[in-house]
Amino acid sequence: MYLAYALAPPLCWGCGGPARRREPLCGRCRGSLQRLAGEPVSLSGVSVWAPMAYAGPARDLVRALKFRGARGAADAMAAQMAANAPPGLLDDVLGGATLVPVPLHPRRLRSRGYNQAAEIALALARRTGLELADCLVRSGGGATQVGRDRAERRAGPHGAIATCASPRDSPVAGAPARVVLVDDVVTTGGTLAACRAALLAAGSEDVAAVAFARTLGR
């Protein structure tokens, strides 16, 4: 596999054409990304910011990370998020937040082998210097959000989301006071609202969210 990667040119996840090594999109697809306004929006009671609209190459990139094993795409997503985030959201202006990835149901985690939100959060932590706490778990029904209508999505994910007794791979004990949830794409914000409720119940004081992309019209 590594020899094939060394000999073959990297391909763009958007159009399938040649791309620079370690770049998941070619120059033309990067140029066609639809950038969103710099201000967060409120979705299901959560303040959410994303740099990209979930359309075109941005949608292709999310799908590549989520369904095609393109874990390296997480760093390119994090680069866009870190470079364009509103002041104070991903820096220490307000004392620094803790990044918390939106959890993946254990059944889907076993099938996929990784949590795409955690991959983005890890890359974002490296770029911003913020702490990372993998302190949320999902249980119950593991059905995907794909195919659910808007009302069902707003009602939140199948199953339940709760905080861990001991956050994994984190120096942060318990629920962090100031949290920035991290996800790949956000639609109605129902899952983020469930995460926020679990964190506030566990002692967090302020919970916002970032995602690489946001569905148009939300």
Q: d(Cα 192, Cα 207) in Å, to the nearest integer?
A: 10
Q: Where exactly are the structural domains of the chain?
A: 1-32, 36-214
The pLDDT tens digits of the residues spanning 180-203 come to: 999 999 999 999 999 999 999 999
- Kindly state the tokens that stand for 27: 């120059």
pLDDT for the residue 4: 41
pLDDT for the residue 136: 95
CA distances from 133 to 12, 41, 102, 127, 159 (A): 32, 24, 11, 15, 21
**pTM of the complete model:** 0.84
pLDDT for the residue 173: 55
CA angle 110, 14, 188 (to 5 degrees): 60
CB neighbours of residue 213 within 10 Å: 25
Sign for the pseudo-dihedral over CA of 174, 179, 184, 186: positive
- Kindly state the tokens that stand for 201: 């119940």
- Judge contact between 97 and 178, C-beta under 8 A: yes
* Cα–chain center distance at 192: 11
pLDDT for the residue 96: 78
Which residues, listed in sequence order, are joined to residue 52 by a DSSP beta bridge?
35, 213
pLDDT for the residue 119: 97
Residues in the chain, pLDDT under 50? 1-7, 143, 147-149, 152-155, 171
pLDDT for the residue 93: 55
Residues in the chain: 218
- Kindly state the tokens that stand for 60: 């292709």
Q: d(Cα 92, Cα 128) in Å, to the nearest integer?
A: 9
The CATH number assigned to the domain with range 36-214 reads 3.40.50
